[in-house]
Amino acid sequence: MGSLFLHIGLYASIWLFLFCVLNLNIVRHTEAKGVYQSVNGTVIIDGRSAIGRTDSDYICATLDWWPPEKCDYGTCAWDHASLLNLDLDNKIFLNAVKAFSPLKIRLGGTLQDKVIYQTENHQMPCTPFAKNDSELFTFTQGCLPLSRWDELNAFFNESKALVIFGLNALNGRTFPQSGGSAVGAWNSSNAESLIRYTVEKGYNIYGWELGNELCGSGVGVRVASDQYASDSMVLRYLVEEVYEGVEHKPRVISPGGFFDASWFKEFIDRANNSVDVVTHHIYNLGPGVDDHLVQKILDPSYLDGVAETFDNLENIIKSSGTSAAAWVGEAGGAYNSGHNHVTNAFVFSFWYLDQLGMAATYDTKTYCRQTLIGGNYGLLNTTTFVPNPDYYSALLWHRLMGRTVLATNFVGTNKIRAYAHCANQSSGITLLFINLDGNTTVEANITYKNTWMHHHRHKHPVHGKRIIRLPSRNVNATREEYHLTAKDGNLQSQVMMLNGKPLMVDSTGQIPDLAPVIVNSSEPISVARFSILFVHLRSVRLPACK
C-alpha cells in the first residue's frame, strides 16, 4: 500500500510539474502575442473638503547658468541653454512659455552662488564662467551683464512669465575649496545693486531667492541654519526698502536646497517670518548615470518613498506658526543633468505627474521642474527647442487641474496612481490616472465618500463611514478624456501621443492644440497599459469645489 501511494504521489508530482511548465509557456506565449489582461478598480474621492490648495500658477520650470562645458559622465548635455547664451528669439521657445500664461520660471542652479552682477559703476571686467577643475563647482566666477539682464526681462515680459531670481548667497563669505562650512555673513551689496537696477527699469520680479543647495549638509559647501536665517532677514529688509511705495513687492524665498528636517526646522524658527516661501529640491531617483531609472519610475513603492519629505516639511511649517508656503524649488528627478531617453522621454511623465500630484496633496504651492531647457531633463529639447513629452504633461496639468486638491485613493491595483482636483476655471472635477503596468488595462469606477484619508498619508481606509455615490453622469452627460501614450509603445520615445495622435509643433513653431475626446459618461473609464489619462467630469458637483 505504501508503494502504491508512493507511485501515485510521484505521478501527481510529474503531472503538476508538467502543468506548471505548460501553464508558464501559455503565459509567455500569451504575452508574446500581445494579449493583455483587464482588471477593475475604484477611485474613491472625498469631496467634502480640500486637503491642499496650490497656487494657480503651480507649474514652474527653471533656467540654469551651466555653460556648454558642463559635462557629466562624459556627456555634455547643456549646449547653449545657459541664461547667458540662450536664444531668446527662438519662436518655439517663446510660444512654449506663452502657452501657460503664466509660467513661473526660476533662474538659478549651482553656479548662481558664483555669479556677480554688473552694475552701472562696475569697475571689473564682466567675464563669463570658465572651466577650472580646481575651483568650487569646477568653474570660475561668472558675471551677468546688465545688457543680458535687459534682454532676459524683455523676453519674460513678452512671454508673460513670472520670474524668480536666485541670488548669490556665498558673496562675502569665506569657504574652503571643497566641502565644509562657509564662514561669515552674506554680503548683500552686489545683490542690492541688481535689485535697485531692476526696480528702476520697471522689471517685474515674482520673487528673490537666496542661495542654492547650501542648507543641511550642502552640496560642495554649506551654511549654518542660524546664519542663513539672519541672511534671509537681511534680504527681507532690503526688498522692503528698495520696493517701498511699489504696489506689488516680490516674495522673499529661501533656502533652495535639499530637505534636512533639523536644519529646516531651526531655519524656519529663527527666520521670524522673514521668508514668504520655503523651497526644497528633489532628485530622488539618484544619479543620471543609473541604468535602472526606468525600473525605479515604474515601481510604486519607490515613488512613495519621497512622500516622507513632503509630510515632514508640511508638519514643520504648520507647527512653527510661520505664514511661509512650501515650494519644490528644483526637481529634475535624476541629478547631474538627467539621462538621455529617460528623463526627456515619455516614461518620465510617470514620475513627473506623480510628483505634481503627490506634492499638491501635502499643500505644496508651486513645483519647479529642472529644467525648462537644458541638460537631459528639459521640458524642451536643448538644441531644437521642440517640446519633450513632459512639456505636454505640464501644460495639461496647468489647464485642467485646479487649485483645490481632493483626497483620493485607488483600490484594485497598486500600479495605478490616481489624483483628483477641482477642475481649473470650469465646473466639476479633473482626475489624473497613471498606469505603471505594461500588461494591464484598468477599468475605473468612481466612488465619492464623505470621509477618506489620502493613501500617501494613511495606508488603510477609514472604515465604518457612509459612502455617498453622487450622480457623476446621466444618460445625456459626457466627459472629456486626454489619453497620453508613447509613440509605438516605446516608453523611451521622445514623442508623446494624445488620443492616438502625435503632438508636434508646426512649421511656424506653434504649440499644437490639446483637444480631448468626448465620451458618453455611461462608458467606463479605461486606463490603458503604460498610459496617462486626464478625465474632466463637468457634471460632478462636490462641496469642496464650490
* Main-chain phi, psi angles of 45, to 5 degrees: -120, 130
Q: How far apart are CA 249 and CA 342, in angstroms?
A: 39
Locate 187 and state its grid cell: 554680503
Tell me the C-alpha distance between 211 and 191, whole Å: 12
Length of the chain: 546
Rounded to an integer, what distance in angstroms lies between the CA atom of residue 413 and that of residue 51?
Answer: 23
- Here the cell at position 499 is 488620443
CA distance linking residue 422 with residue 401, whole number of Å: 7
Say how many C-beta atoms besides its own lie within 10 A of residue 304's C-beta.
16
Whole-angstrom distance, CA of residue 299 vs CA of residue 414: 9
Radius of gyration of the chain (CA): 26
* DSSP E strand boundaries for 48-153: 52-53, 59-63, 104-107, 115-117, 142-144
Q: What is the DSSP string of 285-349?
A: TEETT-TTHHHHHT-HHHHHTTHHHHHHHHHHHHHHT--PEEEEEEE-SEETT--TTTTTSTTHH
Please identify every residue annotated as catalytic: 213, 330
- Output the nine-digit C-alpha cell for 329: 524649488
Question: Does 102 sit behind a cis peptide bond, omega within 30 degrees of 0 on the bond before it?
Answer: yes
Contact 447, 495 (CB under 8 A): no
Phi first, then psi, for residue 483 (nearest 5°) are -95, 120
User: CA 290 to CA 342: how far, in whole Å?
Assistant: 11
Closest among 323, 310, 304, 318 to 459, alpha carbons compared: 304
User: Which spans in 126-248 are helix H?
Assistant: 146-159, 189-200, 225-242
Q: Is the dihedral of CA 77, 132, 282, 306 positive or negative?
A: positive
